[in-house]
Structure 1
Amino acid sequence: MIYLFHRDASQKTLQIRGEDYKYLIKVRRHSIGDELAFRNKENIQTLFHYKLIEIAPRYATFELLRSEIVEVKAKQTLHIGWCVIDNKSIEKVLASLNELGVKKITFIYCDRSQKNFKPDFKRFERIIEASNQQCGRTDIMEFNTSKGLKSFILQHPQTKVFDFTEKILACESDFETLLIGCEGGFSQQERELLKNQEVFRLDTPMVLRSESAVLAVASKILL
């Protein structure tokens, strides 16, 4: 853990209870005198350094030592348009996408998306919060939905598409918006809609699952 979110971070003293207490004291076994870093979601760029001064049976008290502006974020901005798939598959790679620095994910109901799948933004946000604390990132990944593929392309005309093609993604490629299909890929009608977009693939003979593709492409673009 690089830092911990706490609503009272910035105050001269703060107390932790509940799950945070269990994690820091019971799991991480911090003791009196240890220095820990906290951030406040309302002022996430500021890193607050606290010293542990008291451990009680159900809470721990920290004293503010100093604060500093420390921002940690990706050098490049990447927005992913992702055709809706099962939430469980999204959750498997969401923390990794956050660590890579993906700025935003817009979920789109495509022809082959199962309509009973609905992105659970509240759960996604909890995953991102935990991931930020582990990797140190100081901006919050954004989530959005789009009415459909046509609407998404109209809003983001420079979108580049991951699909079957001869063009292989180059390491120096400059991307701002990327479109990834769902399981089964794009329908023929969708491919007709996307015919004017730049299309690319990875240099592999394997057929990738949607979540494997989004992770592999984001890694190549951002790292």
Structure 2
Amino acid sequence: MGFFYDKNAGIDSLKVDAQAFDYIYKVRRTSDDNLLEFRNLKDDNIYVYRTDYLEKKSAMLKLVGSEEKPTKGVGISIGWCVVDPKIIEKTLPMLNELGVTNIDFIYSQYSQRNFSIRTERLESILISSNQQCGRSDMMSFEIFDSLEKWVKAQNGFMVLDFGGEILPKDIAKHKFLIGPEGGFSEEERVALAKQADNIYALDTKLVLKSETAAVMIAGRYV
């Protein structure tokens, strides 16, 4: 555990609610003289608290210090055509640990429209992931209801798709577009060939799942 999260971290007296109380004092077996590090994920500070007093299902903590300690994402941005939300939720912690800064979720022609992206659920997953890996900022999301609208909003992007030239090992950071299960439609491929800065493929003869491609792209910059 890199730190504990509380949106109010930074105030002089911080109340720990029942859920966090159970984890801190029962699961982690924290003693009341231990120093506890908190982040609010809105700034880059670590806030250090000491237990002031314990109640049956809560605790009051007293701020004893703080330190600016940024551990941010590395500036990777991905356009990810929508796949099953269960797959997204499972993959998100890995992308978070690899430093992805932003994900645009795009409903392309082969994305199933009945899949709904619950951003509040994704934010909860990210908070847990940040606490584990120590990241100090929150990944951001945006949702686009068509690939056409997403393309119009971009200043430049590259596509990861079958048939492109092999992705160089030393390629600079860039926004990458990754297709859904089944890839892009022929109509989308024709349009992307004109709109994208370049179309790349990974150096493998294996067929990769959409989430595997996303992790491999993010892993290039770690």
Give the TM-score of the pair, scaled to structure 2.
0.93
3-state DSSP of counterpart to 2:100: coil
3-state DSSP of counterpart to 1:195: helix
* Counterpart for residue 131 of structure 2: 133
Q: What is the CA–CA distance in structure 1 between the aligned matches of 2:181 and 2:127, rounded to whole Å?
A: 27
Structure 1 residue 74 and structure 2 residue 73: aligned?
Answer: yes
Report matched runs for 1:53-132 at 5 Å.
53-75=52-74, 77-132=75-130
Report matched runs for 1:154-169 at 5 Å.
154-169=152-167
3-state DSSP of counterpart to 1:22: helix
**Structure 2, unaligned runs of 5 or more:** none
Q: CA deviation at 1:53?
A: 4.0
Q: Is the Cα contact below 8 Å between 2:73 and 2:137 reproduced in 1?
A: no
Q: CA deviation at 1:166?
A: 4.8
Give the TM-score of the pair, scaled to structure 1.
0.92
Matched residues, percent identical? Answer: 38
3-state DSSP of counterpart to 1:156: coil
Moved more, 143-152 or 92-101: 143-152
Q: CA deviation at 1:151?
A: 2.0
Q: CA deviation at 1:117?
A: 0.6
3-state DSSP of counterpart to 1:79: strand
3-state DSSP of counterpart to 1:103: strand
Q: What is the CA–CA distance in structure 2 between the aligned matches of 1:10 and 1:154, rounded to whole Å?
A: 40
Q: Is the Cα contact below 8 Å between 1:46 and 1:67 reproduced in 2?
A: yes
Equivalent pairs counted in the alignment come to 220
Runs of 4+ in 1 over 6 A off after TM superposition: none
Q: What is the CA–CA distance in structure 2 between the aligned matches of 1:114 and 1:40, rounded to whole Å?
A: 35
Q: CA deviation at 1:29?
A: 0.7
**Structure 1, unaligned runs of 5 or more:** none
